[in-house]
Structure 1
Amino acid sequence: MIETRCRHGSPSASGRFVRRALRCGAVAGLIVAGASVAGLPFGQEARAADPVAYQTVLVPTGNGAVDAALRASSALITLQKTRAVSPFALAGRARGDEATLRTALESFGFYAGHITITVAGKSADDPSLPNVLAAWPSGKPVPIRISAERGPMFHLGAVSLALGKGEQLTPAEQAAFGLKSGQDAVAADVLAAGGRLQTALQEDGHAFASVKPPVAILHPDSRTLDIRYQATEGPRLDIGQISLDGLKHVNASYVRKLLLVHPGELYQPSKIEAARQDLASTGVFSNVAVTAATAPAPNGTLPLTFDFTEALRHTVALQAGYSTDLGGSAGVSWTHRNLFGNGEKLSLAALVTGLGGTAQNGLGYDVYADLLRPFFLRRDQSLDLRVEGLKQNLQAYDQTALLVRGLVNRKINKQWTVSGGLGAEQERIRQEGVSRSYTLAFVPLTANFDNTGLANPLDDPTHGFRISLGATPSYSFGSGDGNDGSTNTGANTFFTILQATASTYFDLNRIGLTKPGRSVIAVRAIVGSVQGADTFDLPPDQRLYAGGSGTVRGFKYQGIGPQFADGNPVGGTSLDAGTVEFRQRIGKSFGFAAFADAGQVGTGSAPFAGTLRVGAGIGARYYTAIGPIRLDVAVPLNKPQGGDSFELYVGLGEAF
């Protein structure tokens, strides 16, 4: 309970204002009046006359924050549609609102304000009001009017802070407290100062620091409010023994290597919470909690206990997708999230592809095993090993391939990650009636930047940038066992594929047009180039193509670029594409998008060459807990001869 006193006037008047404001006004919008202010117990309401309908109007005060607090605090407003009330109880509800709304005013520093509530034109405390309401015509809402006069703003007078014997605040702790004489006497600010001080003390190692609720003394004549705080620092402690509870299949040694806090370090709640969140983000735990001991250990340190609930180790998922160009795909995956007890993630998947589709010539498959090893040599680094079998029957070429790859991924900071590795591929490709075998060795190198601040990559970004830079030096051992009418004889070829992708997101709320996250403009640009080889020196699957959901919607997959005489894609050695998309949310679960894409593929190494193709379309979105389900329809604005009239894409997550 907060102690209050009043210099002038009775404590039941001015002192009551302060007590209500400081107790209930920390967040003015959370002041809610319930049944206790309705004037009568629920049971008595039920025994009164039949319920009456009413309509409440709140007269604006000129301060939007105050109006919002009054509206949230009023039982007349919050209960008007959800809880029927008898005529007699309606009068009691109106009388109870006066005190509650006055408290809302005081929480903003208006201690001399006045609340007026009229019901059917009569004052809420008019003794004849219940009879008037009882005789009110059935079906006609009772008019209720709430008017608030703010009055003058009160300010803080003397601000004092008492500490325990021998204790003294550091300059940083004094700055955190930050309460000064002369500032507006807003209850939220007064209470926040105590919270900031306690946080600062604990961050300085005072684990048992205590800041008591303030004592407020109101001076109506000078329109000031004196504030007195009392705090106790307690001893400054280091972290002691760290216990790990609840581990069953996860190795304790692995968890201790991941811990961001260690015995002997200064007790700081923010660092301990960061350590908890870091462990929770590994994916092997469904919950991670941390508690500190209730008293220091004999050696003067404070023990911590991390309590773990391990997540399911095995999961099975069904996968499916569809687009008119690539057709349908369907499959199943199995994942083990903790293979050897150190957070290793093994994923096995088998998918059938090419179920129809204008860019497909038949069924294919994609089968792979992927092993992710976290904490590879260091905590911010992982090793990803993959073996994949692939068969595609595309309009551009038919391919059967076996691929092996190893990548080391390192997180540089919150925004940058880099990766590099080695890979090899053995493949058989048939294009334009000629089959060749290729053996490739390659070194994939990437750098990624992301400051959108999203933990789930499927969530809708509303601001920031995503940038991906890639370079893949490759060596192709051609077989030379075919002739396609070109100078290509399947000779050995060294080449490097360079690609850069950048996207940015602009929330129209930033210029005041919409609410946050409701209307977003998304822009994407892609540039690619092959260095060191001409088109027919490259295996067909290493050439650059455009068209499809990843580049230019409205054109079939690989449908943009040079073509053979029969209209099948050749591929190229340069690529550029761009997209502008407007995304609008509707209600909680729905949305739509409108977009325009453009791109081209050239036969030289410099981008921005070739025939520019443009597509446009619209899409629908259904937002789920795991991300938006996307359905896009796009049409080509300058389709080539024999091209499709439209393309349909269904997937999970935005296009970019």
Structure 2
Amino acid sequence: MRILFVSLLVGCVLLPSQGTVANPFFNQLPGFALRVQGDSTLQGSLRQALEALRENSSTLQSYEDPRDIARYERGNLEKLLRSRGYYDATVRESVADGEIVYRVTPGPQYRIKSLDIEMPPGLRSGLRGLPIAVGDPLLASGVLEGVQAVTRYINENACLLNVDVSYQATIVHREAAAGLVYRVAPSPEVRVGAVHILGAVSIAEDYLRDQLSILPGDCFNRSQLDAAQLRLLRTKLIANVTSVVSEPHNGLVNITFIVQERNHRTITLGVGYTSDEGTGISASWEHRNVFHRGEKFEIESKINRVKQSLKGKLTLPRFLRDRQRLTASLALTGEDVDSYHAKAVTLGAKVSRKLSKHRTVSAGAELKFSRVDEQAGLTLEEEGQDENYRLLAFPLGYKLNTTDKPLDARRGAITALEIKPYLDLNNNSSAFLKNILQVTAYKTANAARYQPTLAVRLKMGAIVGASNLELPADERFYAGGGGSVRGYGYQELGPRIVEIGADGRETLSDPIGGRGLSELSLEGRFHFSETWGGVVFLDGGNAYENPSPNFSNLFWGVGFGVRYITSFAPIRFDLAFPLDRRDGVDDSYQVYISLGQAF
């Protein structure tokens, strides 16, 4: 059953990719045949280009006669041929039995006979080469790449007020060749004079100046100007920014940045439902400019019948260095499940540093005061007795994130590793190490019908240094629930103690948690319209008494869901069924309603 469901899930995602997105008008166009004399490679590329033009052309909608369509597409083919260096090509079209036949005689492919660059003499010697050279085919793409290369070189090596690079190609038909000249328009060289910022009301001006990275006396550079505007927008404090450059005076230009601030405060309210945790509500308040330098303060509260939390977090960007931030947090939490009741106060501080665009490392310290009343795995005398803990932890983290969206990823992957050593200050001899590795990956066939996305999640955890019952119950691993193995109740999967009653019958206790965790999820996501989508999924997982990774004894759940896609995140409704249902333990199905994808 499980193997069959996996096959169906992968098939649902991959099979639609064999076709393209339906286009009713495209299906009404007459078919065509394309024959290129003596060049099968060119024939294949022209066919692909013409099919793409048909799929995206609105002009063709005004034509009904196949002969008009043929004449229009012949002009497109002639333009395509010239862009690939075939300046003597001929295209003939004919219409028979509702089909268009194009016959192409490409002729010789023109090549570059001479190449010159006209720019200030002091700059010309430093330009080492272009992506196009004498003897190459005269391709439009190659010529434009040359324009970009010259522009990039000028921006990096000159202080021109305006950078304007153009080209001229002179065709020599009798030689099937062309002369190519790039020209850099004359412009004065200037440096930066005064830098002004207008429009900032609640943001410290020196903070915005630090983001600009442009100082008086710097070489003037248009690309650096664009980069400075982008850095201002990335602070998420600015809604819009424009720049004004003055006329040069004595070799200097003044730059004025005009900014429009965003609203720095946000209030959110949310509601969700799961059949194992009941109805939950959440509320949060956020201020993204508390001390006028991009500091963010957040307060968030979540309440349902199983979990309650109130958390506050302060984030200081650019802590000691540009790509580093400090996060301080305080959390009050409560958890009320069958196997234990827990209340905790947690204080933490963490420094995160971006090593690159996608890689982040973090290190911090955390102090947790908790009271845990464990109900499972204890004797009658022990049950109901509270255990107090003072846990000091030093979490270390690594994250590699290449996804495109945080709440509804369509492509990319996330690899997150956390290593967290604990020391119980109430009992100095008690220490343990908690490790969690999670990998998620997303792949979307954008050209396929319903734009299917295959999402995969793998999670593993291990705790070493203490036995199960020596660990605080709320720090052990459990599986089951909407963010784990759908189809099973919250934390209903994991080790249980076998109890023998007075009549000799065996019964299972509530889950006691474990030192090992393994979870695997596969999900196929489909977009039926701009606002509606659907999913099918298979989840597997379990918690184990021993910390060794184990994928041999997983509990599996399957299901399907509906997504209502908003501009912020999808609203999800999932219905899941346990494949390994246990009598007297598992319900026949579970329902999940919340914001955002399951993973």
In structure 2, the partner of 1:24 is none
Whether 1:599 and 2:579 are equivalent positions in the alignment is no
CA distance in 2, matches of 1:91, 1:515: 31
In structure 1, the partner of 2:286 is 335
**Is the 2:166–2:184 Cα contact (8 Å) retained in structure 1?**
no
Alignment partner of 1:502 out of 438, 441, 444: 438
Q: CA deviation at 1:248?
A: 0.9
- The structure number with the bigger radius of gyration is 1
Whether 1:409 and 2:352 are equivalent positions in the alignment is yes
Whether 1:152 and 2:107 are equivalent positions in the alignment is yes
Q: Write the letter of the residue equivalent to 2:441.
A: Y
In structure 1, the partner of 2:491 is 558
**CA deviation string 1:427-480 (max 9, x = no partner):** 3333325141524232241322224153x3223152344232221423253xxx
In structure 1, the partner of 2:239 is 286
Unaligned stretches of 5+ in structure 1? 1-53, 122-141, 355-359, 478-490
**Is the 2:397–2:419 Cα contact (8 Å) retained in structure 1?**
yes
Q: CA deviation at 1:250?
A: 0.5
CA distance in 2, matches of 1:219, 1:325: 78
CA distance in 2, matches of 1:329, 1:476: 34
Alignment partner of 1:347 out of 272, 282, 298: 298
3-state secondary structure, aligned to 2:542:
strand
CA distance in 2, matches of 1:232, 1:180: 22
In structure 1, the partner of 2:374 is 431
CA distance in 1, matches of 2:558, 2:67: 60
Alignment partner of 2:473 out of 540, 546, 554: 540
**CA deviation string 1:342-392 (max 9, x = no partner):** 1121222333312xxxxx4xxx53222222222222222222222223233
Question: Equivalent residues in 2 for 1:37-48 (5 A)?
Answer: none
Q: CA deviation at 1:162?
A: 4.5
**Is the 2:326–2:352 Cα contact (8 Å) retained in structure 1?**
yes
CA distance in 1, matches of 2:55, 2:579: 58
In structure 2, the partner of 1:626 is 568
CA distance in 2, matches of 1:319, 1:493: 43
CA distance in 2, matches of 1:461, 1:114: 44
Q: CA deviation at 1:649?
A: 2.7
3-state secondary structure, aligned to 1:194:
helix
Alignment partner of 2:90 out of 114, 117, 137: 114
Q: CA deviation at 1:55?
A: 5.1
Whether 1:197 and 2:171 are equivalent positions in the alignment is no
In structure 2, the partner of 1:308 is 259
CA distance in 2, matches of 1:232, 1:502: 54
TM-score, normalization by structure 2: 0.79
**Is the 1:194–1:211 Cα contact (8 Å) retained in structure 2?**
no
Whether 1:386 and 2:329 are equivalent positions in the alignment is yes
In structure 1, the partner of 2:416 is 467
**CA deviation string 1:472-496 (max 9, x = no partner):** 423253xxxxxxxxxxxxx666323
Change (3 A) 1:238 1:494: farther
Unaligned stretches of 5+ in structure 2? 1-27, 36-41, 376-382, 500-507
3-state secondary structure, aligned to 1:221:
helix
**Is the 1:596–1:614 Cα contact (8 Å) retained in structure 2?**
yes
CA distance in 1, matches of 2:57, 2:189: 49
Q: Which moved more, 1:610-619 or 1:570-579?
A: 610-619
**Is the 2:63–2:69 Cα contact (8 Å) retained in structure 1?**
no
**Is the 2:167–2:181 Cα contact (8 Å) retained in structure 1?**
yes
Q: CA deviation at 1:501?
A: 1.7
> How many residue pairs end up in the alignment?
549
**CA deviation string 1:248-271 (max 9, x = no partner):** 110012222334444444445555
TM-score, normalization by structure 1: 0.73
In structure 2, the partner of 1:483 is none
Q: Write the letter of the residue equivalent to 1:441.
A: L
**CA deviation string 1:85-130 (max 9, x = no partner):** 8x9xx998976776565334322322223344567x7xxxxxxxxx
CA RMSD of superposed structures (Å): 3.7
**CA deviation string 1:237-294 (max 9, x = no partner):** 5544332222111001222233444444444555544443333222212223445x25
CA distance in 2, matches of 1:419, 1:531: 22
Q: CA deviation at 1:613?
A: 2.5
In structure 2, the partner of 1:135 is none
3-state secondary structure, aligned to 1:379:
coil
**Is the 1:497–1:528 Cα contact (8 Å) retained in structure 2?**
no
Q: CA deviation at 1:556?
A: 1.6
**CA deviation string 1:34-86 (max 9, x = no partner):** xxxxxxxxxxxxxxxxxxxx9554433564553465567789963343x488x
CA distance in 1, matches of 2:56, 2:362: 60
CA distance in 1, matches of 2:472, 2:161: 68
3-state secondary structure, aligned to 1:184:
coil
Q: Which moved more, 1:550-559 or 1:245-254?
A: 550-559
Change (3 A) 1:649 1:467: same
CA distance in 2, matches of 1:597, 1:323: 16
**CA deviation string 1:142-181 (max 9, x = no partner):** 958473525224323333324256344245x342x33323
Q: Which moved more, 1:428-437 or 1:374-383?
A: 428-437
CA distance in 1, matches of 2:461, 2:419: 9
Change (3 A) 1:613 1:287: same
Q: Write the letter of the residue equivalent to 1:152.
A: G
CA distance in 2, matches of 1:414, 1:524: 22
**Is the 2:288–2:297 Cα contact (8 Å) retained in structure 1?**
yes
Change (3 A) 1:518 1:340: same
In structure 2, the partner of 1:250 is 203
Q: Which moved more, 1:250-259 or 1:436-445?
A: 436-445
Higher RCO structure, 1 or 2 (CA under 8 Å, sep 6+): 2
Q: Write the letter of the residue equivalent to 1:529.
A: A
In structure 2, the partner of 1:218 is 171
In structure 2, the partner of 1:397 is 340
CA distance in 1, matches of 2:179, 2:560: 61
Q: CA deviation at 1:341?
A: 0.8
CA distance in 2, matches of 1:233, 1:459: 48
CA distance in 1, matches of 2:434, 2:315: 26
Question: Equivalent residues in 2 for 1:96-111 (5 A)?
Answer: 102-111=78-87
